[in-house]
Amino acid sequence: MSLINQMLKDLEKRRSRDLETSPSLSHNITWETRPNQKTFNWQLFSSIATLSLLLAVIAYLLWERTSHNAQMLAINEDNPAPVVKEKVSKPVVRKKAVAQKIVKPVAVVTNDYSQAVNVEEEVYSEEVSTAETLNIKKKHRPLNSQQLAEIAYQKGYQLLQQGRLRQGKEHLREALSLYIPHIKAREMLAGIYIKSGHFISAAELLSEGVKIAPEYPLFAKLYARVLLEQNKPQLAIKILNRGATSIAISEEPDYFALMAATYQRVKNHNKAVDIYLRLVKVRPAAGVWWLGLGISLEKSGKGKEALEAYQRAQKTGSLKAGLMKFTDNRVSALREIGFPES
């Protein structure tokens, strides 16, 4: 059966070859089966050629890039690049925040000091590796009486500098009403009263001042001067002795000079001589203290020592004209009664 099939296939192949080589093949094909003959299409040919050219260019570029990369890879294999270690950032360690308070009083330009407030800044400092972060919190708090008094004093001082005496005194009194121990306000207001001859008002301020601040010698010295103006030398000596316990003569020589002069006024010349002798050791060029020493020595009956003190006062050259004339007269008088120059 297989042999018959093979014979049939061979016959079919031979028949196909005979049809292809027969000269009457074109006559055996009808018009329905004969293919149409067309003219050459130049537009299609041009498109195909252009596309082929583009593909060729793209292929060339790809080949050149691949070749370049292969060459660079070969160079890198021959000369390997150094390995760069990547830096790993260390974890940030935060230190405990430290708070610092900064108090800034706000100046007041009106008389209503109760409206003044503190600006209190809480600064939290937080250190982070190499940087510092600041967190600022502001709180407004009312000023205390001492701070309000300082504002009133500063305002009064400015007004006095501008020549506005009445307004300046009002602010100084306001400062003392707010804070009684305000030393500067009390001192300045007392000085104004003394200069203007209001000794009673000055005495009231200063008598309270020596009680509030017994260690402050200026209050005692000013109060003693006011008492001398009121013809109260014994009370002045008491005030001066009380204040002298906390100061040294080398620190406040003028204070002790006032004390010596006050002792002279009450005719306690022995005490005055003791103080003047200490004073001229501290300041030998002070002619007025040599003069005071000479007066107390002469009143004590020590004429020779008094003459020497007067002559030392002359040699300092620091006496004013009136005092110099007085000294010259005392020197001449002591010479006449038998105390020649030593």
- Helices and strands: H and E segment counts in the chain: 14, 3
Looking at residues 165-190, what average pLDDT do you find? 95
**Three-state DSSP class for 136?**
strand
C-alpha to C-alpha distance for 307 and 341, rounded to whole angstroms: 8
**Strand ranges (E), the chain:** 98-105, 117-128, 131-142
> Given a cut of 70, is residue 24 above it in pLDDT?
no
C-alpha to C-alpha distance for 225 and 237, rounded to whole angstroms: 10
> Given a cut of 70, is residue 233 above it in pLDDT?
yes
CB 122 within 8 A of CB 103: no
Tens digit of pLDDT for each residue in 38-64? 455 677 777 788 878 778 878 777 777
pLDDT at res. 293? 97
Amino acid at 238: K
C-alpha to C-alpha distance for 298 and 276, rounded to whole angstroms: 13
> Given a cut of 60, is residue 36 above it in pLDDT?
no
Looking at residues 266-273, what average pLDDT do you find? 96
C-alpha to C-alpha distance for 8 and 20, rounded to whole angstroms: 19
C-alpha to C-alpha distance for 308 and 339, rounded to whole angstroms: 9
Q: Could you write out the DSSP letters of every residue in 73-100?
A: HHHHHHSPPPPPPPPPPPPPPBPPPEEE
C-alpha to C-alpha distance for 4 and 208, rounded to whole angstroms: 155
Alpha carbons within 13 angstroms on the beta-carbon side of residue 224 total: 27
CB 234 within 8 A of CB 224: no
pLDDT at res. 127? 47
